[in-house]
Amino acid sequence: MSILNPRPGRTSTSGLERAVDEALLSEAVIDDGDLGGRRANLRAAVGTLARKPGFVLALVFTIFVVLTAFVPSWFAGHDPYATSPSDRLLSPSLSHPFGTDEIGRDLWSRVVHGSALTIKATIIALAIAIVAGLTLGVVSGFFGGIVDALIMRAVDVLLAIPSLLFALAIVTALGFGTVPVAIAVGIGIIPGFARTTRAEVLRVKTLPYVEAARAGGASWLRVLVRHVLPNSWGPVAVLAVLDTGVAIIAIASLSFLGFGAAPPAAEWGTLISAGRNFLITAPWVPLLPGLFVAAVVLSLNHISKTFQELAR
């Protein structure tokens, strides 16, 4: 084989798939009467998603959690800081869905108010990761050459340091609190983002329609904005949703380890960490908030996975 075909395999499909494609070829072409176009496509995609109960559930729950972060008072019946010595360590009930902690504070209200800190930290972390990661990835993939080599070497180095450990170093340097934790986690996600974005940009950049646009006289800027970016954001968006879950776990872990906001304010991780002393006597104190965090991450992962399958 010549050097012109450096990657054998991977491109061709099997006879089985070809048979399916053949059968569906006629389906891909719609009637002349149909209008088709973007809106119809979007409607079809929404229709497909709406028919997936798991996806709808995950989406509704995610929206609920985001709402709790911004208007916790809508969902919490009690003051999260109001102590009540007579109501210590009550097990879950109608008035206290998650029970109460060792000084009688309503745990559900504390979890809901904890959303505000944790979700905002997640948003900061993602904003850092997306802005820096996208910029690095696009610049690297689009311009190539020395710029690409330099950026990718830097990314390799960052990838060599496990992200939670790197976050620890940053927290050590910046001090404790919600914002340092958010920054630390955000920086830790940058390399993965940069890599995925770069790979997508590189993939789209070599597609025939980009070459066609160049041959049609389009400038590189136009090619980037009109062709490369719109066609490469899909996998990047999937990763962003997935990384939201990763960021939530990382932020909760860091606050669990004791690096988050100072008491009495409590992020999800802090709540669980404080509750673990009561594991024997009142297991719901650490476990129910933990389950809540898991449900949030699970929802995000499911949304991400559904998008991924839809794109295929």
Q: How wide is the angle at C-alpha 221 spanned by C-alphas 218 and 226, nearest 5°?
A: 75
* 147 near other proteins (CB under 8 A): no
**Please, are residues 99 and 89 in contact by the beta-carbon 8 Å criterion?**
yes
The amino acid at residue 120 is K
Q: CB-wise, 31 or 94, nearer to other proteins?
A: 31
* 161 near other proteins (CB under 8 A): yes
Q: CB-wise, 265 or 287, nearer to other proteins?
A: 287
User: Residue from 55, 108, 142, 259 that binds other proteins (CB under 8 A)?
Assistant: 259
Give me 158's structure tokens.
């960052």
User: Residue from 123, 132, 297, 310 that binds other proteins (CB under 8 A)?
Assistant: 297
User: Residue from 85, 145, 216, 263 that binds other proteins (CB under 8 A)?
Assistant: 216
Q: CB-wise, 80 or 286, nearer to other proteins?
A: 286
Q: CB-wise, 78 or 253, nearer to other proteins?
A: 253
* 166 near other proteins (CB under 8 A): yes
* 150 near other proteins (CB under 8 A): no
Taking CB under 8 A as the binding criterion, the range among 59-67, 74-82, 95-103, 203-211 that sits at the site for other proteins is: 203-211
Give me 18's structure tokens.
């070809």
The CA-to-CA distance between both ends of the chain, in Å, stands at 31
Q: CB-wise, 81 or 233, nearer to other proteins?
A: 233
User: Residue from 53, 85, 217, 263 that binds other proteins (CB under 8 A)?
Assistant: 217
Give me 200's structure tokens.
């997508």
For residue 107, the minimal CB distance to other proteins (Å) is 15
Number of residues that bind other proteins (CB under 8 A): 98
64: number of Cβ within 10 Å: 13
For residue 216, the minimal CB distance to other proteins (Å) is 4
Please list every residue from 79 through 118 that binds other proteins, using CB under 8 A.
none
* 138 near other proteins (CB under 8 A): no
Q: Which residue has the tokens 């630390």?
A: 184
* 264 near other proteins (CB under 8 A): no
For residue 50, the minimal CB distance to other proteins (Å) is 14
**Please, are residues 36 and 30 in contact by the beta-carbon 8 Å criterion?**
yes
Residue 106 β-bridge partners: 100
**Please, are residues 80 and 113 in contact by the beta-carbon 8 Å criterion?**
yes
Q: Radius of gyration (Cα) for the chain, nearest Å?
A: 24
Our CA dihedral for 84, 85, 91, 96, rounded to 10 degrees, sits at: 0
Please list every residue from 19 through 78 that binds other proteins, using CB under 8 A.
19-30, 32, 35-38, 41, 48
User: Residue from 201, 238, 240, 293 that binds other proteins (CB under 8 A)?
Assistant: 293
Residue 282 β-bridge partners: none
- Listed in sequence order, the residues at least 6 apart from 304 whose beta carbon sits closer than 8 Å to its beta carbon are 238, 239, 241, 242, 245
